[in-house]
Amino acid sequence: MEKQDKIRLLFVCLGNICRSPAAEGIMKDLVQREGLENKFFIDSAGTGGWHTGELPDARMRRHGEKRGYDFCSRARKFRAADFDDFDYIIVMDEENFQDVNAYATSEEDVRKIRRMTDFSQKYTHDYVPDPYYSGADGFELVLDLLEDATEGFLGELKTVHSL
């Protein structure tokens, strides 16, 4: 199955080294456990390009490894062409939403942008906080929020796309 034939998901945060690569890795793990990996193309990006080419933050990788995840994607900057390349663009917070929305050139582009917490099932947070300047508890909270929201997101995708 070609990339264009798959459901294409892009997770976006500020620098693409903490939240969005974690969301990417968790979603990849989840769709693999469900036997749906051939139905999806999953990637992540940041609204800023400071970390382009870097692995995710070592602390996020460590916390993810404790839960069985492998966060190994390389950071890249969000670009306007991502609206053509992806069906869903999932942002972590309001600043990310505004930054990505600024690239939109049509209502169709705007409809692709969703907030990660729109899919939360157990948590009431209205955004996924950036753990970069926090301690271990911040990274664990982000992983809790992302695990919950990716499950909710996949549930919605399975319904919408009859998977």
The answer to whether 18 is a known catalytic residue is no
Active-site pick, 8, 18, 19, 57: 19
Model confidence pLDDT, tens digit, residues 48-91: 999 999 999 999 999 999 999 999 999 999 999 999 999 999 99
Q: Is it true that domain 3-160 has CATH number 3.40.50.2300?
A: yes
Cα-based angle 27, 84, 52 (whole degrees, multiple of 5): 60
DSSP the chain: --GGGSEEEEEEESSSSSHHHHHHHHHHHHHHHTT-GGGEEEEEEESS-TTTTPPPPHHHHHHHHHTT--------B--TTHHHH-SEEEESSHHHHHHHHTT--SHHHHHHEEEGGGG-SS---SS----TTS-HHHHHHHHHHHHHHHHHHHHHHHHHTT-
Q: Are 8 and 86 in contact (CB under 8 A)?
A: yes
DSSP 84-113: HH-SEEEESSHHHHHHHHTT--SHHHHHHE
Please state the domain extents for the chain: 3-160
> What mean pLDDT value characterizes the chain?
96
The answer to whether 72 is a known catalytic residue is no
Q: What is the pLDDT of residue 162?
A: 95
What single-letter amino acid sits at 7?
I
Active-site pick, 43, 57, 93, 130: 130
Above pLDDT 90, what percent of the chain?
96
Of 159, 146, 126, 163, nearest in space to 36 by CA: 163
Name the pTM for this structure: 0.96
Active-site pick, 8, 13, 18, 148: 13
Mean pLDDT value across residues 2-17 = 91
